[in-house]
Amino acid sequence: MDLSTDICGIELSGPVLNGSGTFDALAARRVFGDSLIEDFPFDCYVSKTITMNPRPGNPPYRLWETPSGMINSIGLPGPGLDGFLERDLPGLAGLGVPLIVSVMADQVEDFEVLVSRVATRDEVAGIELNVSCPNVHSGLIVGEQPSETEALMKALRPITEKPLIVKLTPNVANPQEVAVGAEAGGADAVSMINTVKAAAIDPGVNRTWLGVGAGGLSGPAVRPIALAQVRAVSASVGIPVIGMGGITDAESALEFILAGARVVAVGTENFRDPRAGSSVTEGLPAALGRRGFGSLAEAQAASLD
């Protein structure tokens, strides 16, 4: 079955991306060598979120397993913009699939620098704007406010003709209002959901488990929340939605397509099975067939009662 599709002009051989920060392709390449490229699990690679300056990330602990999910407070460790462009980008450009680079800043001026320097690189097909990471205070502010999201988009839109994708936070009452703001500001797509604000208590000591007190929940536990939000947002905007949140297999991926997503992303499941993206793709023809679809496009065009 032909699974080829596109997301805001980026041609894809299939509808399966990775969620930003959930698949370290450079580390995987070091372990698996060229076999990773020959059988790359995703149809498009989304980088870990890049910030202006190098960051060590949050103090430990940073992970907590929950029933059907996990909480992380990784805190965006990374090499900063210069380190990413010099050291990481060449390797990511060699993965054999289109590359989307995720960026985040705590002020518009820094977002402008990030977008303009990343967009000038031919290897980059699109840019995702992380305005929703619940671990970094500044990211939350923009993504919680429709007007701030629209203003950010209006500042960034003139910088590049490359697709700009706004990653939405689920930690608002009405994500569709933020999506409408993103679209009004000129976004080409939205991706959703980021992690859901969450905390855990240390089982042995009377304190919070995570070093910074709270983090973001992901995995199958958040899937019903993500499906509801994808439905609401895709009904409210004309731009395409990249759907994610607890996808583990082809069936759950197809649920997101039926909820209104054009393409999907696999996140937390990659930690359990680095080939999860391939499993989703391999299972899609049968999953589509079981629901009576002859093609991916038929499912993308379907609407639910």
Instruction: Tell me which residues touch ligand FMN (CB under 6 A).
Output: 19-22, 48-49, 72, 74, 76, 102, 130, 133, 167, 193-195, 218-219, 222, 244-247, 266-268
Q: Which is nearer to ligand FMN, 219 or 240 (CB)?
A: 219
Residue least distant from ligand FMN (Cβ): 21
Q: Which is nearer to ligand FMN, 98 or 267 (CB)?
A: 267
- Give the nearest distance from C-beta 305 to ligand FMN in angstroms: 26
Q: Where are the alpha helices (DSSP H) in the chain?
A: 25-32, 34-38, 80-83, 89-93, 108-119, 137-144, 146-156, 175-185, 223-234, 250-259, 269-272, 276-290, 296-301
- Give the nearest distance from C-beta 133 to ligand FMN in angstroms: 6
Q: Which is nearer to ligand FMN, 22 or 229 (CB)?
A: 22
- Give the nearest distance from C-beta 196 to ligand FMN in angstroms: 8
- Give the nearest distance from C-beta 48 to ligand FMN in angstroms: 5
Q: Which is nearer to ligand FMN, 283 or 295 (CB)?
A: 283
44 is catalytic: no
Residue whose entry in the numeric block shows the structure tokens 């990330």: 57
Residue type, 36: L
Catalytic residue among 36, 100, 133, 237: 133
Which three-class secondary structure state does DSSP give residue 129? Answer: strand
Task: Give the gyration radius of the chain's Cα atoms.
Answer: 18
From 299, 293, 167, select the one nearest 233 (Cα to Cα).
Answer: 167
Which three-class secondary structure state does DSSP give residue 212? Answer: coil
Q: How far from 249 is each of 44, 253, 254, 268, CA to CA, in Å?
A: 17, 6, 9, 12
Active site positions, annotated: 133
